[in-house]
Structure 1
Amino acid sequence: MPGLYSERSQWYLLQCKPHQDDRAHVNLLQQNYVVFHPQLMSERVIRGRPQSVRESLFPGYLFIHLGGNDNWSPIRSTRGVSRIVEFNHGPATVSEDVIEHLRGRCEIPESQNNEPLKPGEQLNIVRGPLSSLEGVFLSSQGSERVVILLQFLNRDQTICVPLSDLERQHPSLQINN
């Protein structure tokens, strides 16, 4: 089986045992493997109260970075790991571009690092087709999108944009009269 594996380092897909993604992740890290476990923050009602929780983007799966010189055999016996996912009698590889895209998607936006956005708060659009425009926060739509009011084409427009495309206006940019 070692002959099937690539000599250069690549990302591969691992399937975990049911509800053991975190256990597999920790155990692989303890064995000095490079592992990526994409997770997102989401809002859940727990015991009647809304709370932010981290959830796996792909429940039951992890990505591992391996090369031809890495020891693959301990992976199968790692607690929490079920198997290396295979297609056409070889391990399933994942391109570096896909991993980088997932890393960017799973980063916590700056506006979530601090306090939640408040209605009426001024925001700058920093990515996407409307970048460099300014808007006013109206409401959240889930944990990743927000509704903002935008002055565009001489009209007030209500649009929904990804939270990751926005930044709060810095106090130094706001003009106080």
Structure 2
Amino acid sequence: MIASEQCAVPAWYLIHCKAKQDKRAQDNLMRQGYECYRPTYRRERLSRGTRQTLSESLFPGYLFIQLSLHDNWAPLRSTRGVLRTVSFGGQPVAIADEIIDHLQLREREPSAQPLLTQGDAVRINEGTLAELEALFMAMDGDERVVLLMNILQREQRINLPMSSITRL
């Protein structure tokens, strides 16, 4: 391929965003007509005693943008949320398409990272069993957990509100 033809082929590049502004940068760049990709993953989080599934950036503070070397890169510098283009030796480095394809494929898989998995050690924070440790066994509905504790040399299963435990 001739060098000028190579410059016209779009490639993926890495954009470094301002702190906690990668979503904002992506929205602003897309509004300007740029092709962007910000890999995300889903995870469960405990908030005020209830489980929530959140979508978070896989690489906080970074996103990918598809450009050719002939495209106008100047607006990137003044886009809200964008800090700079990741470069080495003053030249932006292209990211292989296979890496982006792999990230997009993994993102489509419907697997949220569970908050607790069977066998996780937890500490009870309130009630008569406060400050004791137990093992997480399973969820009992949306807001209760089943724990396994060793009480008086016997394993006992107990049910508690999820808000009353902390993962160790």
Give the TM bin, normalised by the shorter chain.
0.5 to 0.7
- Could you give the per-residue CA deviations for residues 106-129 of structure 1, whole angstroms, max 9, x where no partner exists? 1142xx6xxxxxxxxxxxxxxxxx
Matches within 5 A, 1:76-87: 76-87=77-88
CA distance in structure 2 between the aligned counterparts of 1:85 and 1:35, rounded to whole angstroms:
15
Q: Distance in 1 between matches of 2:87 and 2:7?
A: 13
Residue deviations 1:13-72, cap 9 Å, x none? 000000001100100000000000100110111222111000100000000000133211
Identity, % of aligned pairs? 44
Distance 1:34 1:15 in 2: 16
Give the match's secondary structure for 2:63.
strand
**1:92 deviation in Å?**
2.1
- Deviating above 6 A after TM superposition, structure 1's stretches of 4 or more consecutive aligned residues are none
Q: How many residues of Structure 1 are paired with residues of Structure 2 in the alignment?
A: 111
The CA RMSD over aligned residues, in Å, is: 2.2
Letter matched to residue 91 of structure 2? G
Which residue of structure 2 lines up, in the alignment, with residue 14 of structure 1? Answer: 15
Q: Secondary structure of the residue that 1:71 maps to in structure 2? A: coil
Q: Secondary structure at the match of 1:45?
A: strand
1:57-109 per-residue CA deviation (whole Å, 9 max, x = no partner) reads 00000000001332110011000000000112210210000000000111142
Q: C-alpha separation between the residues in 2 aligned to 1:84 and 1:34? A: 15
Number of the residue aligned with 1:28: 29
- In the alignment, structure 2 segments of 5+ residues that lack a partner are 1-5, 119-168
CA distance in 2, matches of 1:46, 1:99: 32
Structure 1: any 5+ residue segments left out of the alignment? 113-139, 148-177
The answer to whether the 8 A contact 2:7-2:70 is kept is no
Correspondences of 1:95-134 after superposition (within 5 Å): 95-109=96-110
SS across alignment from 2:24:
helix
Q: Name the residue aligned to 2:48.
A: 47
Which residue in 2 is equivalent to 1:64? 65
Q: CA deviation at 1:9?
A: 1.1
Contact 2:34 2:65 in 1 (8 A): yes
**Normalised by the size of structure 1, how large is the TM-score?**
0.58
Larger Rg: 2
Quick one: which amino acid aligns to residue 32 of structure 1? Answer: G
Higher relative contact order (CA 8 A, sep 6+): 2
